[in-house]
């Protein structure tokens, strides 16, 4: 492959947040371009006016920046084949659609919405019957002169097999009879998605097209357009779906997996990039953690799978936890502080710092701080304690240990991790208890749980008043057992 001629593109529609499936397509396309010393182009496909969302272009640009994707040409980086917004290329599409009419590969269609509705079958599907293909030249000219609204449709072959080769799925063949005469140019002169893609990919010199495998069935229509114009057909690389489960793919419609949502929840951008890069591609040595440089170097078409990959949120959390372990204490504090302020807006810097230390060994993503806080600091419901906890509290010596801790904690004038642990040890010596029978009664009496994070840090953050109050309530209840 000539490394100098590779040109790829990412062409998102500004219809909302970027779905992780779209981001993965961008990443693979970016890796491929960089790997072959080629160009990576960003094109904004904003011709679907009804679905356009204000601010979505800014979201796309921000997402690419956070993901570490730098494009060579596109908005703000004008090259020789712009503009890079399809809405600004509108006159081109009409010109090329009319060229196809002249070649006999497309035709004007004046059918009304009502007539098209009448073509519905028993399942509600419409297949156009080529009514306007049979209009005479004089009739077409009369309708155009009367400014009757029209669309331009692609004329499909009447018979034969349309085929193409995909670099993942191999030879794909479709019977021409299955292909409907699709609309290329709408009545407002905006192009349809399929037509604009072909025109722009050709004019921008795109050599390799990477996209989801849901486009496999429509690619023959693309290729017929290339052939009608006499243009070179790009190489196709159709990517497997990212699935929500065994039978459902991730979908924007159901609010699944938007990149920005993960960022807001405290997932690190590169953790997301690393994880979704492995959804559909597998390195030969099963390595999991990669830098961006390594992803570019190691990515290969040979490693792409045909079958879909299930998005596993637990695996993403593992990646995020692994990357969080690598940041400094200061970076971790700055990362977690916004989430801690949502829990407790008026706490001291020391409290926030201690919370960071407490959570660091357990927290997998930022927003989880609220869940962990609720678990660690929740009010104890004495009546709802598990049978395991109740059985432990009834063991010999546990009441005495809690009672003594309660008494000694009240005498502390300084409440911090050091004085708390020292007091626990002194009680252990006085009562000749240690290990589980010393620390677990303290934990259960303070949190209602038998297991949890570092006890000294946790009790310091709970506060002296809360710990003593909880112990007092529990002792009252244990006295009547």
Catalytic residue numbers read 252
Dist. CA 80–CA 407, nearest whole Å:
80
DSSP 399-427: HHHHHHHHHHHHT-SS-SHHHHHHHHHHH
> What are 466's two structure tokens?
């809360």
C-alpha 73/C-alpha 59 separation (Å) is 18
Give the Cα separation of 99 and 106 in Å (integer): 9
Strands (E), 279-338: 309-310
Please report where in the chains the tokens 């006999």 appear, as a residue. 104
Cα separation values, 349 from 285, 299, 334, 360, Å:
45, 44, 11, 16
Q: Which helix (H) or strand (E) holds 293?
A: helix 292-298
- Extract the tokens encoding 37: 């010393």
Whole-number Å distance between alpha carbons of 58 and 191 = 23
| Distance between CA atoms of residues 409 and 403, nearest Å | 10
């Amino acid at each position: 492959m000539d490394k100098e001629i590779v040109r790829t593109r990412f062409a998102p529609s500004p219809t909302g947040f970027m779905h992780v499936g779209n981001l993965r397509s961008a990443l693979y396309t970016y890796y491929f371009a960089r790997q072959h010393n080629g160009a990576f182009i960003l094109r904004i496909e904003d011709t679907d006016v009804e679905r356009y969302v204000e601010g979505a272009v800014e979201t796309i640009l921000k997402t690419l920046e956070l993901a570490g994707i730098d494009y060579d040409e596109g908005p703000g980086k004008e090259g020789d084949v712009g503009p890079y917004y399809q809405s600004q290329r509108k006159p081109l599409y009409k010109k090329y659609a009319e060229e196809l009419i002249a070649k006999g590969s497309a035709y004007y269609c004046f059918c009304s919405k009502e007539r098209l509705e009448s073509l519905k079958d028993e399942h509600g599907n419409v297949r156009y019957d080529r009514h306007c293909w049979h209009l005479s030249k004089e009739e077409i000219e009369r309708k155009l002169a009367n400014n009757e609204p029209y669309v331009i449709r692609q004329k499909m072959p009447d018979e034969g097999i349309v085929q193409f080769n995909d670099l993942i799925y191999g030879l794909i063949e479709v019977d021409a009879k299955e292909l409907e005469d699709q609309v290329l140019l709408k009545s407002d002169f905006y192009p349809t998605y399929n037509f604009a893609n072909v025109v722009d990919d050709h004019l921008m010199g795109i050599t390799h097209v990477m996209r989801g495998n849901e486009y496999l069935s429509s690619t023959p229509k693309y290729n017929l357009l290339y052939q009608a114009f006499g243009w070179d057909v790009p190489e196709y690389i159709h990517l497997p779906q990212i699935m929500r489960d065994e039978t459902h793919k991730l979908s924007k419609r159901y609010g699944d997996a938007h990149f920005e949502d993960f960022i807001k929840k405290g997932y690190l951008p590169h953790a997301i990039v690393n994880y979704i890069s492995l959804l559909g591609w597998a390195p030969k040595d099963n390595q999991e953690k990669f830098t961006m440089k390594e992803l570019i170097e190691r990515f290969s078409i040979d490693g792409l799978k045909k079958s879909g990959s299930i998005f596993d949120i637990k695996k993403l959390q593992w990646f995020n936890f692994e990357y969080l372990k690598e940041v400094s204490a200061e970076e971790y504090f700055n990362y977690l502080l916004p989430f801690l302020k949502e829990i407790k807006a008026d706490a001291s810097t020391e409290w926030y710092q201690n919370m960071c230390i407490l959570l660091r060994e357990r927290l997998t993503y930022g927003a989880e701080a609220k869940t962990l806080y609720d678990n660690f600091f929740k009010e104890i419901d004495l009546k709802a304690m598990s049978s395991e906890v109740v059985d432990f509290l009834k063991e010999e010596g546990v009441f005495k240990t809690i009672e003594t801790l309660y008494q000694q904690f009240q005498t502390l004038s300084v409440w911090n991790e050091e004085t708390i642990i020292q007091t626990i040890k002194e009680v252990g010596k006085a009562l000749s208890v240690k290990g589980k029978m010393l620390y677990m009664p303290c934990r259960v009496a303070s949190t209602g749980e038998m297991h949890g994070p570092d006890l000294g840090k946790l009790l310091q953050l709970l506060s002296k008043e809360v710990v003593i109050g909880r112990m007092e309530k529990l002792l009252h209840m244990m006295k009547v057992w």
